[in-house]
Structure 1
Amino acid sequence: MSSVAGSPVLSEKAARQSTDVSFLADGGELGAMMRALDWSRSPLGSPDHWSQALKTTVGMLLAAQAQIVLFWGPDFVALYNDAYAPGIGANHPRALGRPAIENWGELWDDLEPLLAGVRHTRTTFAAKDRPFYVERHGYGETSYWDVSYSAIPDDDGSVGGVLCIVSETTERVLGETQLRASEARYRELNATLEQRVAERTAERHLLATIVETTDGQIQALDLDYRWLAINASCADAYERIYGKRPRVGERLHEFLADRPEHLAAATAIWSRALGGEAFTTIEEFGDARFDRRVFEMKFEALRAPDGTRTGAFLTGKDVTDRLEEQARLAQAEEALRQAQKMEAMGQLTGGVAHDFNNLLTPIVGLLDMFQRRGIGGEREHRLIAGAAQAAERAKTLVQRLLAFARRQPLQAVPVDISRLVADMGDLISSTTGPQIQVTVDAPEGLPEAMADPNQVEMAILNLSVNARDAMPDGGKLRISAKARRVERPHESGLMPGTYVCIAVVDTGIGMDEDTLAHAVEPFFSTKGVGQGTGLGLSMVHGLASQLGGALTITSAVGSGTTVELWLPVSHATPGTVDAVPEPSLQPLAAGTALLVDDEPLVRMSTAEMLSELGYRVVEAGSAEDALQYVRQGLRPHLLVTDHLMPGMSGTDLGLALRKQYPELQILVVSGYANNEGITPDLSRLTKPFRSDELAASLANLTKVAR
């Protein structure tokens, strides 16, 4: 790979571009509409050519229940979800996939500076009850919105668009305005009552009409907790939460006599108001058998003309829906932040692993050569063996990084989880020690899971070691497997279907909420320095996600931990998956090998291995150099090439040379440990590798050729 900063990641992203539009599959009506839309008219083009960042963001907003619209690109092309569509009225669906100015023209002078400001500064813009003039029902109107506009980075790090999480508050704002007007009118009438004795009857009638018809909840109690007045809206609220309506003249104690806990809560609040205190509070009331609602209530004292207190009254409103909407908005924002964080961490760890593999390849290769040649005396042998062991540990560390980044090579086949778990019982018991009582429950007859058995065994072993470390004074460890049916979208993101669930349950110290929130992040560990890499759970999480499953963790301090690994059930019919035959370790030397890699140290160690295997090696630092050698008359029998290089990739080089020389044997070497961009009919080898692993790959090439 090139040593130029940033180049490997960018070229790798280009190689990983996918035509998959599955991110639209579960997006409700808008997801279906996006799949059916003629995108040739849109500046964005077809969804299968969208950047990964755009796909990830659209997939998230389609699944969200909050009102979300994404304005993408310099034209601010609109993409939104089912919850947002009703808010734009007749502009839906013509606004989908079109520049915002076409359908938000009447407020563009107001909206465009906000979007442009977020795009240019990357600073989130948020506001409560912000007015916007809109024309969505054939006429102009002022609407009010809680808004949060955030910049969304594209794959190259630049700002791709602006994500707008909104909640329309027009109805509440207008309702509060009406309520305030009613309250103001009520106070005015009360303050001028003495001066309007002659109009008392008319004013009382007017006041009663206002109180009775307003949407606000108004009631008044005397000093004996007896209702002096209550409007229809407030009586309706009582009936909703208690199943009955209070009457004027009835005492609060009589009304809630059968609910002593509710009575105590209500009298505690009213006693403050009846004592002369003016205050505003938000409280939840109601019988769970009927309904529980949250009310915002403003209390004030009632006074006689001479100033003595005669009772108290409140004006209130039901704010349950508003609070739930605010909670959903906050949840959506947190989910977006978490998704962006995990995506960024995955890209970082994947890139680190790739570069690490390139560094490890010559180290592993040369240490392997020293061991095979028996270089040095007994002391040197021990030192070389120790270095080789350290290199293997580094290789394992890289594999765990790749597992978290979901880029590890997996050989997914139908796996009998019952047998796999049962066979691991003795190994787990010996690993955890005599202080841990291990129980294995894996009944026969479970459906086969589609998984990589080696990686699943490693995952169970990692989880068991974590459980052991959580029980320093001994305890019980139970490992079980069972078939589980998911009927509706799971909290972990699992789609409905049948899964095999492997549960690892311990009676250890458990985790608090903060530890649990970071448990699957790479390098996060509660163990002491040198006692763990912090990659165990992140590796299992990445493995489960890569296989189409999930990892769930439940834990509490002092109550132990339960970790569940969910694996999808295999739908392969018996006999459809063939075992991979063991190749001969001695390939047939076939003359000249053309070795292509942009890393000189990797070329050096690989060339030495090929020479030991009997090949005459010609080295090239790029695909272009290799093609130049061929144009000058080189006729190689074998091509060993790195996959990702500056300029032409190794895969493209192999395909180009195969067109000229169909008999050419080709082995593609990759440090990224994934198959994206590599043609399936080309054999591949993952860095780092030893001489025997290279020999095995070449032996398989010669076997296929024969």
Structure 2
Amino acid sequence: MADAFAFLPPGGVTGAEIRARDWSTTSLGPPEAWPTALRSTLSLMLSCPTAMFLAWGPDLLCFYNDAYRPILGYRLPTALGRPFREVWASIWGEIGPLVDATMDGESRKMTDVMLDLSREGEPERSWWSFSYSPVLGDTGAVNGLFCVTAETTDRVLGEAALRESEDHFRHTVELNPQVPWTCDPHGNITSYSNRWLELTGQAAGEPDGAGWAKALHPDDLPGTMTAFAASLSSGEPVDVDYRIRVATTGEYRWMRARARPRRNEGSDIVRWYGVVEDVHDRKAAEERLREMNATLERRVEEALAQRKLWADVFETTDALVAALDPDYRVLALNRAFADGFEATYGARPKVGDDLLGLLDGVPKQRELVRSVWGRALAGEEFVTVEEFGGPGRSRSCYEIRFTTLRDAQGRRIGAFQYAVDATERVRGQEQLARAEEALRHAQKMEAVGQLTGGVAHDFNNLLTIIRSSVEFLRRPTLPEERRARYLEAVADTVDRAAKLTSQLLAFARRQALKPEVFELGERVRATAEMLNAVTGARIRIVTEVPDEPCHVRADTSQFETALVNLAVNARDAMDGEGTLTLGLTCGEGLPSIRGHAGAPGPFAVVRVSDEGAGIAPELLARIFEPFFTTKEVGKGTGLGLSQVIGFAKQSGGDVDVASEVGRGTTFTLYLPHVGPPPESEEDGDDEAGEQDGGRALSVLVVEDNLDVGRFCTQLLEDLGHTTVWAHNAEAALDEMGRMPSRFDAVFSDVVMPGIGGVELARRLRASHPDLPVILTTGYSDVLARDDAHGFELVRKPYSAEQVARALRGVLARQRKRTPA
């Protein structure tokens, strides 16, 4: 009878299991019906010594070779012929997407992938490299998946251990007072620790090759290079003394350089490993000992050689060196550490002492030492700066490096401290901070001087117009036409002065605002229509406003003024021709602007973009300063952008600017987004107020300034009202107490000595809720922080019409609240 498995190679455990299995019950059917592609792939896989598996057919039934069997672990008895997904169900989340991609015709290769195969039924961490390839059936369609795999766990873990070891070695090298170095077989320096750069002052890379020799004393250079060359030629260890110039002091100190070669299997030198150590103090000691006794010199040399690592390095340095075990017992210390500890805490430690036990009498210092050393003993490696006190100590500030001590097996056995004097460096940093503070103060004073000069210049110009006009108005023979012209000039100049004051207060965020909730899209559209008259016909204005409403709470007049100021700047930047774009978005966050922290929002965002000349980068930081302008003399005051940023900040937002020279500028105004206002029933106030327009009122005037008080009472009397003048809030309260029903309204200044106008208004609201109160001010820090507190506000300088309108308005609202 013909062998149905003749295509399988002879031998092999897996081949025998395939022959022994009844395949007729599987989706593959009897082997006589197996496709040629399956037969050839199985034959190839079973003959290969590399671990492989094959998943075939619609159920992806599992085949594998003998090399793959150990990978299956406890799954081995049931894996053959089972669906691949069932065999590796525990890791299907990781390999499932790879299987799907392979069956779609893509080959995948993965390297060092961590998989939990749980080969013994227990969780395990193992790493694998494998490739998945699609296998085509006889019809050319993808019928299976072929995988070649190899476990890389040992290599991955070995490389991780090597990286950890290298990192530990690097830290140890950098904290070592000695200077480790390497060179190639020809003597070219290839590596060294930063300690060499600190000692010599050479720059990184400068010692490479033969550059290290530049730091040597000229007298020692020939002998050093001869000895070095001899060792390179013979392969004997390097051991040579020379002097180097120490960068920090300028003195020459003796160094000892030693090195040994590393050879390959053929005994060829592949690299030299060496160390440079400071032996200057030892050299001096040796010289003194030679003068005393030649025999004693030999013995001392032998003793010093045995104690080289400690005596030559630690005991001749000013650094404070110590090591503790996890129980805070002293493993090692040098004299500098013992002296410093004794000077600071009054106890002198020695090897074997409990360092914390020495501090039992000073609990605060004990906890400080415990907290710092505790971090190091817990395995943390760090650098800190500490100040130490103590009688007679001239060095108070130390930079301390802590590193972990480990034994040969890598177990943590303690911590190592290396502290160097950092007093001069810290003092230099403190002096730098004081210098920076002085510079900031000077810049602040310069800004104050610029602001003061700008205010004086503009107000003197305005006062010149008013003074000249008044002088002409005093002439009895002045024609009526010119009299009207001078009166108009005075009125116009007063308005300009009030606008200048308003802009300054807006920049300083001290403007008394009248905030109200309004729909920003409508206001942007309305302002855009009005801007045509400002920008001119050659500038096309484009508005990009969403259909959804976007509400903010702000002073509408100040908002419109800000848009006008930005539009005027854009017009001038475009030389009167181009496209000006006004855009609005809602619900954005506030980014960090000019170093200030941002906010999540939501904010309404108005963008004003032009196609103008742009702003030079060096000027961007100054454009919001008051009176700063790049325009020609007479073309601008430099207060427009100051008003914009002041209004934005006082309204709870900010303004940003982005500009590219020659491409244009975009100003972005952020205002807090709020909900829509409640339904209002204030309609008809103006009509009701008109009904009161002719009625004579009794008004209590509260004003501490004599000139303004006389003017205000005269103005009200000229309007047909009767007045009582109180010079402060206390006097006003007395007047109200004598005859409360006597007054129809109160007209009060805000800024007064004693009780201010806002507090007076609150008291009157509490005691006489039906009595209208009107506040007036030129500037008030209270109103700048919290608008008008719900009272009617008339800003100084005010006109008779403004006062009359305010009276009509409050009386109309009062009648609506308290009908007859």
User: TM-score, structure 1 length as denominator?
Assistant: 0.49
User: TM-score, structure 2 length as denominator?
Assistant: 0.43
CA radius of gyration, larger in: 2
